[in-house]
Amino acid sequence: MKRAALAGAALLLSTLAASAWEPTKSVEIIVPFGPGGASDQMARTMQAIIQKHGFSKESFIVVNKPAATGGEAMMEMKKSKGDPHKLITTSSTIYMTPLATKIPVSWHDFTPVAMVAQDEFGLWVNAESPIKSVSDLAKAAKEAHPPLKVGGGGSKREDELVSFGVFSELGAPISYIPYKSGGEASTQLAGNHIVVETNNPSEDVANWRAGLTRPLCVLSPKRIAYTAKVTTDMAWSDVPTCGEQGLKFTYNMLRGLFLPSGVTPEQQAYYVDLIEKVTATPEWKEYLERNALKADVRTGKDYVDFLNADEAKHKDLMAKAGFLPTN
């Protein structure tokens, strides 16, 4: 009887393994931004890891759909209900674009797969700037006439929201200048065309390394963990938090993935397992350190709980900033 039971259990496991869902054609990773940006880099890193390690029999293809600040990509995902061969990468725009534009879609229309990291944000100044601390920045902003020029990537997106949060707390008016990307904002800062910018590390590290810009502080509750030198004398871990200098406002940005709605639990489970494999590789850990991303993998209820709390935080801050439509 014991042998028969064991044999039956083995047969059941074998049958379940054989029937487990896998993609039957190429999988699209839809990026709601243009090529070369942080979201695009993340998707292409995942694509390369999946291919290198043979995690899928089918290929993964990155498709950029940057129109309408991610709105085009989100609407396509909504229309792709039940299609398990499409993923979308996401950042805080998964909340901000629907809230700001009232397009008829939100993350609640999708199937959560996994959160894979959090993007750090910081305040950056020109390398030659006399501003050395948050108190220096507050003084400069309050004394500036016309208002201090603050740059960032895009209008009514994360960078402008961060700028609003920081300078509202400092009690100083600013002139926010939106650029096409964080990279362009960094270039403008390097050329002294703006006084300060809000940016994530990956989009400013090249100019920092070149001695053109420098981080004033990071907006995370804790310092960035990476200790390898970025410049000749500084690592990310050497950059203080803005909180250490008296600023209460903090901000980190979600990096995650979704499937369309209407997929089966088996299809969702396949991608959760896939992402857990990807984020356990040395290549992924190297990618995180290279871009100073905070390692943070969440699936299931942990991911959904984070999304609900983060959406509420963004909605509240956007309302205070006047980013929400009035009708």
List CB contacts of 262: < 8 A, sequence separation 6 or more. 81, 82, 111
Same fold, 26-119+253-321 and 122-250: yes
CATH architecture, domain defined by 122-250 = 3-Layer(aba) Sandwich (3.40)
Can you tell me the distance from the alpha carbon of 312 to that of 306, in angstroms, rounded to the nearest whole number?
A: 10
What's the sign of the alpha-carbon dihedral 209, 211, 213, 214?
positive
Segment 250-298, tens digit of pLDDT: 999 999 999 999 999 999 999 999 999 999 999 999 999 999 999 999 9
Residue 111 phi, psi (nearest 5): -105, 115
Q: Locate the domains of the chain by residue range.
A: 26-119+253-321, 122-250
CATH architecture, domain defined by 26-119+253-321 = 3-Layer(aba) Sandwich (3.40)
Segment 195-236, tens digit of pLDDT: 999 999 988 999 999 999 999 999 999 999 999 999 999 999
| Average confidence (pLDDT) over 9-38 | 74
pTM of the model: 0.89
Question: ∠313-315-320 over CA atoms, to 5°?
Answer: 100
